[in-house]
């Protein structure tokens, strides 16, 4: 019988968990940007939207199984084992990212912030409408902290080309600057109300 060394087992499990999370975040950079915490008990949670409504949510299980057959053991090095853990992490990242995108799609549709172009090209006016509907924060110097854009890589390249082209249009630039000024005023107004409430 082999000796049981709990401290070494605990260190290996920590390393496995780090590998799992790193692989998950590599598979979905979107998940890596989201802050999280561990809730040790309970099956649900709730959050409050900016309009004051409280939303209850049930957790969905996300799990994977690591199978190692007896035949694999003689050839199983620590590197190969870590690769198996990394593969699981990638699978989990892809599943969790898809679940998040589904939730975002459902939420934006319910809030009326969903834009379905129905196969048409993104236009300047639609882009300005989209920016007008989202919350934008500003740093202490008044510079906008634009939200992340999540899309297919081809769509992002297409969008970047359009923005480069549109930025040469004085009318579009003036409309965008005016919109940003309105957003900046709204942001500072909300910040002042929070300060007064504190």
The per-residue pLDDT for range 165-185, each reduced to its tens digit, is 999 999 999 999 999 999 999
Helices and strands of the chain, counted as H and E runs:
6, 4
User: What ranges do the domains of the chain cover?
Assistant: 6-34+61-111, 124-197
183 is written with which tokens?
């957003």
Helices (H), 112-152: 124-133
- Indicate the Cα dihedral angle 11, 13, 35, 63, nearest 10°: 180
142-163 average pLDDT score: 85
Q: At 77, list the tokens.
A: 């090095």
**Mind listing the pLDDT tens digit for each residue in 26-76?**
888 888 888 877 778 888 888 887 678 888 888 877 788 888 888 888 888
Its pTM stands at: 0.65
Q: In the predicted model, what is the mean pLDDT of residues 92-112?
A: 85
């Amino acid at each position: 019988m082999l000796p049981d060394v709990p401290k070494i087992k605990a260190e290996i499990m920590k390393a496995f968990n780090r590998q799992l999370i790193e692989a998950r975040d590599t598979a979905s950079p979107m998940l890596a940007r989201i802050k999280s915490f561990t809730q040790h008990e309970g099956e649900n949670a709730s959050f409050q939207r900016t309009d004051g409504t409280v939303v209850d949510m049930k957790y969905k299980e996300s799990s994977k199984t690591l199978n190692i057959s007896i035949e694999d053991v003689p050839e199983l090095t620590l590197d190969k084992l870590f690769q198996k853990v990394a593969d699981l992490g990638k699978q989990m990242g892809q599943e969790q990212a898809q679940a998040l995108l589904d939730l975002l799609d459902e939420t934006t549709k319910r809030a009326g912030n969903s834009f379905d172009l129905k196969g048409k090209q993104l236009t300047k006016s639609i882009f300005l409408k989209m920016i007008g509907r989202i919350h934008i924060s500003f740093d202490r110097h008044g510079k906008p902290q634009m939200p992340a854009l999540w899309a297919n890589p081809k769509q992002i390249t297409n969008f970047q080309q359009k923005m480069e082209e549109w930025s040469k249009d004085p009318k579009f630039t003036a409309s965008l600057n005016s919109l940003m000024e309105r957003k900046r005023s709204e942001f500072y107004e909300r910040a002042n109300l929070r300060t007064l409430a504190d």
